[in-house]
């Protein structure tokens, strides 16, 4: 049980890093719509208002249902569901990771000071000079492993 949870948690950090880096940023021609949504909308809006993202304001249930980010997280959960049959705790770690990703991502874009203090790597990703580094949202584990964690003035004490 414990091993499944740890492996599921680790697996999701790998997935978060590689999806963010390779689908939402790097492969512009292959994943044109994902890139446009993520970089042209999300990054542009975040930089306009020091990380504040209006889409996370007062969302109705209708807005949440049609939110691209939520739909993609739900799809990831559905695609991984067969794992539940053999490794239920691994799957539960995936589900937990999807929820924690969404809520951490949301809070860093609604409570900027909280995000700067507790998730400075994500603030650096959006507000730093180079928006093509610092791919981890929940933790910068793979940014350190892959040497893509670039510290800004905001995070020098990390």
For 74-88, the DSSP string reads HHHHHHTTTHHHH-H
**Residue 5: CB atoms within 10 Å:** 15
Contact 134, 140 (CB under 8 A): yes
Give CA separation, 11 vs 8, 97, 118, in Å.
5, 10, 22
pLDDT exceeds cutoff 60 at 34: no
Q: What is the pLDDT of residues 41-60, one digit of tens each?
A: 787 778 888 888 777 777 77
User: Which pLDDT score is estimated for 112?
Assistant: 92
pLDDT digit string, tens, across residues 106-127: 999 999 999 999 999 999 999 9
pLDDT at 60: 73
pTM of structure = 0.86
pLDDT at 33 over 80: no
Task: Dig out the tokens for 47 from the structure.
Answer: 């930089």
143 pLDDT band (50/70/90 cuts)?
very high
pLDDT value, residue 94: 98
Residue 35 in this model has a pLDDT that exceeds 80? no
Query: Among 2, 22, 8, which residue's Cα sits nearest to residue 77?
Result: 8
- How confident is the model over 56-86, as pLDDT tens digits? 777 777 777 778 888 889 999 999 999 999 9
Dig out the tokens for 79 from the structure. 């695609």
């Amino acid at each position: 049980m414990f091993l499944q949870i740890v492996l599921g948690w680790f697996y999701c950090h790998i997935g978060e890093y590689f999806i963010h880096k390779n689908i939402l940023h790097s492969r512009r021609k292959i994943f044109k719509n994902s890139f446009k949504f993520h970089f042209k909308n999300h990054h542009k809006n975040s930089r306009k208002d020091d990380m504040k993202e209006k889409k996370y304001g007062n969302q109705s249930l209708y807005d949440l249902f049609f939110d691209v980010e939520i739909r993609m997280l739900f799809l990831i959960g559905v695609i991984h569901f067969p794992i539940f049959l053999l490794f239920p705790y691994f799957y539960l770690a995936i589900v937990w990771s999807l929820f924690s990703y969404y809520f951490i991502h949301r809070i860093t874009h609604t409570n900027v000071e909280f995000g700067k203090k507790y998730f400075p790597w994500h603030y650096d990703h959006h507000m730093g000079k180079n928006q093509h580094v610092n791919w981890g949202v929940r933790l910068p584990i793979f940014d350190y492993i892959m040497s893509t964690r670039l510290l800004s003035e905001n995070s020098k004490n990390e």
